[in-house]
Amino acid sequence: MNKVIFETAQLAVEKIAQEFVEYSKQDRPVHISLSGGSTPKLLFKTLAQSPFNTAVKWENLHFWWGDDRIVPPSDPESNYGEVQKLLFDHIQIPEENIHRIRGEANVEDELVRFTKELDLVPNHQFDWIILGMGGDGHTASLFPHQTDFNDPNLAVIAKHPETGQIRISKTAKLIEQAKRVTYLVTGASKANILQEIATKDAKDLPYPAAKIQSKNGITEWYLDRDAAELITE
């Protein structure tokens, strides 16, 4: 496990925010995929504030999502809606730089439309994909025991194994093509599963987060001290 341990979740998201500044200095479109969850909310709030809200050249960054729920943007469950409320409403970013999954649409139609939009990413290779990890080891909406790691498609319709909620998710294949994959995981509730991932072979684990890595780039884990408490240095 290629890991970086921060004392707090806030320090972890500030490191990512600073990297947004650096990425945005490139004179080309930079494609970044965001995650849902509580820690990313902290990231979005941080990016919306000084100095990051003006230091980032937002016109150079294009934002996508690892997955989203099939709900309207106004729904608290919408990953896009959270970023809109916490970040996009507070910065100057071109509307065409935001590539959301339209949760209010028919799911089959939206899968087709979103897959076509992914052609905007050169060679379908994201510059940076930021992922979270659920307490069951899922990432994006790729769940244990129901993820096809060899799915040749770019996106897939997924169902939450407990709630039955429908989502659209990037596939493992698409994530693994990224130049950089960063798992941002915080909190003591993730410590046991992180210990497993750090000490066992991924092929022996059911967790998609343990298995999905960049094929030709960087895979890293940004952890706070609580999440990393059971991992020996």
The reported pTM is 0.96
| Structure token pair of residue 213 | 């890595």
What pLDDT, on the 0 to 100 scale, is given for residue 38? Answer: 87
Q: What is the mean pLDDT of residues 63-89?
A: 97
Q: CATH classification of 28-167+178-187 is 3.40.50.1360, yes or no? A: yes
Please say if the pLDDT value at position 233 is more than 70: no
Summarize the confidence of residues 61-85 as an average pLDDT.
97
Query: What are the C-alpha distances in Å from 38 to residues 9, 35, 146?
Result: 10, 10, 24
pLDDT mean across residues, the chain: 96
Residue 116 confidence (pLDDT): 98
User: Residue 82 above 90 pLDDT?
Assistant: yes
Determine the average pLDDT of the residues in 186-197. 96
Mean of the pLDDT values across residues 186-214? 96
Give Cβ neighbours of residue 31 (< 8 Å, ≥ 6 apart): 62, 64, 120, 121, 122, 126, 127, 128
Note the pLDDT of residue 46: 98
